[in-house]
Amino acid sequence: MHHARRDIQVRLSKEPVLTELERASQTKMIIRLFELWALTPTQQSLCLGLSIKTRTNIHKYQTGAAFLPLYRDIQDRIKLLLSIHKQLRRLFPRNEEIIYGWINFPNRYFENFSPLDVICRDGLAGLIAVKEYLDRALAI
């Protein structure tokens, strides 16, 4: 009985585990994606669920002085951001202008807000809404 409770605690409290190399690669990918999407440091912080007052963190990620945190919330956001990018590449395989600009274009589905506006306003729920929108577009 004692072992069962410990197993449940381990499963519930487990943070993502990445090697230093994986964390460095992940940080570079996200920072590059933010550059391609032309996001400001404030928008980058909002996408990652970081305080917009900690712009120095974004600078540290950009320069490679620090890696993105392993907190579950941030890792979930990273997965969603990369998934959104992958979906855009699948939807528009020959149009990089749309792949990298779509996030900033007003969209009727989002009441003429851009997907980025929705993400910045609604955080994790906004990321999920944008990903689900693209999921439906790919299913058509």
Q: Check residue 8 and give its pLDDT.
A: 45
Predicted structure pTM score: 0.86
Q: Check residue 10 and give its pLDDT.
A: 43
99 contacts 37 by C-beta, under 8 angstroms: no
Torsion angle defined by CA atoms of residues 28, 29, 33 and 39, in that order, rounded to the nearest 10 degrees: -40
DSSP code of 123?
Answer: T
Tokens of 99: 């792949």
- Pairwise CA distance, residues 12 & 72, whole Å: 11
Q: How many CA atoms lie within 13 A of 89 on its CB side?
A: 8
Tens digit of pLDDT per residue, the chain (140 long)?
455 444 444 444 466 789 999 999 999 999 999 999 999 999 999 999 998 877 678 999 999 999 999 999 999 999 999 999 999 999 999 999 999 999 999 999 999 999 999 999 999 999 999 999 999 999 98
What are the boundaries of each domain within the chain?
Answer: 19-139
Q: Check residue 14 and give its pLDDT.
A: 61
